[in-house]
């Protein structure tokens, strides 16, 4: 039996691999839809409670004014989206937000700052935020842009559990979306994070105008990292007025679910996060995503600067589907 057949058999085995070819990933992605979901759900149950969903809260601790030109991002200085830049938050305000998130049921608290890379005194303040949030009994996560090795080790010493740094899309399509930071820059940051002993949170965005082959290539890149990301956020593009992608056509819902299911099969032990874009998804689409192996969401009305279902709506959806926080 060859390696791919483990994921195509009647009883798929949870084989964690880092040597996927694009042809193999494409073969999984293009399975008949029912078969794809069966394979993904079967593997999911070997590692996770199928009715448990890890719940995170994301807070923008420094908003806007980012020098990068990511075509999807309302926080870029290159685009007029009506977003007013905000300075780095006070530490006590961040701790209060974390406390409220924990009381609302979140188990992980993610802090995002619109920087190319953190510097100086501001970085020192972030280190204190991480330490204080961890003391609240929450897993800690940060997304601060590019890191060097010294910064990654400092975050680890402060108690950071996860660092988010997405690849966004395939290496081939990446230059159509971002020109101010290279694909290798992103991979280098992931290396620094892994070497420091911090769990990696890394995924991508679908609906940017990429082709299916780009989605295949992105998932192949993620699955072939030296260690699979502990969390794999799959974002659906949120089309923000003023960004170059504001008129981008919607991605097909079934294609999105295929992306979730393939991520689950390729990275069976990772949390697969149904991330940005949920506000535009029906309950039925989200239900299919959970069936396909998604087992993490952001909980709260806002993701950095864009909308997210409110906690009441998520509570209703969880009750309807019989899901519970992990």
Q: What is the DSSP string of 107-143?
A: SEEEEEE--SS--HHHHHHHHHHHHHHHHTT-EEEEE
Q: What is the mean pLDDT of residues 170-196?
A: 96
Q: Which of 96, 28, 33 is nearest to 61 (CA)?
A: 96
What SS3 state is found at 33?
A: helix
**Band (80; pLDDT cuts 50, 70, 90):** confident
Beta-strand relationship, 204-206 and 162-164: unpaired
| Catalytic-role residue among 7, 125, 132, 141 | 141
* 299: pLDDT strictly greater than 80: no
What's the pLDDT at 1? 38
Yes or no: say if 114 and 64 are a contact pair by the CB < 8 Å rule. Answer: yes
What's the pLDDT at 92? 94
Mark out the alpha helices in the chain (DSSP H runs).
22-29, 33-47, 91-103, 120-135, 149-158, 171-174, 183-195, 212-223, 253-266, 283-291, 311-321
Residue 202 among the catalytic residues: no
Yes or no: say if 116 and 146 are a contact pair by the CB < 8 Å rule. Answer: yes
Residue 201 among the catalytic residues: yes
* Residue that the structure tokens 């990446």 belong to: 174
Residues in contact with 157: Cβ distance below 8 Å, sequence separation at least 6, in sequence order = none
* 309: pLDDT strictly greater than 70: no
pLDDT in tens, 15-73: 789 999 999 999 999 999 999 999 999 999 999 999 999 888 888 899 888 888 999 99
| Catalytic-role residue among 70, 202, 220, 289 | 70
Q: Which tokens is 282 given?
A: 């029906």
What is the separation of C-alpha 59 from the centre of its chain, rounded to a whole number of angstroms?
A: 14
Quote the mean pLDDT of the chain. Answer: 90
| Catalytic-role residue among 201, 202, 220, 289 | 201
Residue 220 among the catalytic residues: no
Whole-structure pTM value? 0.89
| 244-258, 260-274, 309-323: range with lowest mean pLDDT | 309-323
Q: What is the mean pLDDT of residues 176-182?
A: 94
Residue 215 among the catalytic residues: no
What's the pLDDT at 2? 45
Q: What is the mean pLDDT of residues 118-145?
A: 93
Q: Which long-range contacts (CB under 8 A, 24 or more apart) does 5-12 make?
A: 7/39, 7/43, 7/265, 8/39, 11/42, 12/39, 12/42, 12/43, 12/265
Q: What backbone torsions phi and psi does residue 80 show, to the nearest 5 degrees?
A: -95, 95
Q: What is the mean pLDDT of residues 253-279?
A: 95
Residue 7 among the catalytic residues: no
Q: How far apart are CA 6 and CA 121, in angstroms?
A: 50
| Catalytic-role residue among 110, 202, 220, 289 | 110
| Catalytic-role residue among 132, 215, 273, 278 | 273
Q: What is the mean pLDDT of residues 225-249?
A: 93
């Amino acid at each position: 039996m060859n390696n791919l057949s483990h994921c195509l058999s009647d009883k798929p085995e949870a084989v964690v691999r880092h040597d996927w070819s694009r042809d193999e990933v494409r073969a999984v992605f293009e399975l008949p839809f029912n078969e794809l979901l069966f394979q993904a759900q079967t593997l999911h149950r070997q590692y996770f409670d199928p009715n448990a969903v890890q719940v995170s809260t994301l807070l923008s601790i420094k908003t806007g004014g980012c020098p990068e030109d990511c075509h999807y991002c309302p926080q870029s200085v290159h685009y007029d989206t009506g977003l007013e830049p905000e300075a780095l938050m006070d530490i006590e305000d961040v701790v209060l937000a974390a406390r409220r998130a924990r009381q609302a049921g979140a188990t992980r608290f993610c802090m995002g700052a619109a920087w190319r890379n953190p510097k100086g005194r501001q970085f020192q303040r972030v280190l204190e935020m991480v330490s204080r949030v961890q003391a609240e009994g929450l897993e800690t996560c940060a997304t601060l842009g590019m890191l060097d090795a010294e910064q990654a080790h400092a975050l680890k010493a402060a108690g950071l559990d996860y660092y988010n740094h997405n690849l966004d899309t395939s290496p081939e399509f990446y230059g159509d979306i971002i020109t101010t930071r290279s694909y290798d820059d992103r991979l280098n940051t992931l290396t620094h994070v892994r070497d420091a002993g911090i769990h990696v949170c890394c995924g991508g965005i679908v609906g940017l105008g990429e082709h299916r082959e780009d989605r295949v290539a992105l998932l192949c890149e993620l699955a072939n990292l030296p260690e699979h990301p502990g969390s794999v956020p799959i974002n659906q593009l949120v089309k923000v007025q003023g960004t170059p992608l504001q008129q981008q056509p919607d991605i097909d819902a079934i294609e999105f679910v295929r992306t979730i299911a393939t991520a689950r099969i390729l990275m069976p032990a990772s949390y697969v996060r149904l991330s940005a874009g949920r506000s535009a998804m029906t309950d039925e689409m989200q239900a299919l995503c959970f069936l396909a192996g998604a087992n993490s969401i952001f909980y709260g009305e806002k993701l950095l600067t864009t909308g997210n279902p409110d906690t009441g709506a998520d509570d209703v959806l969880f009750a309807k589907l019989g899901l519970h926080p992990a």
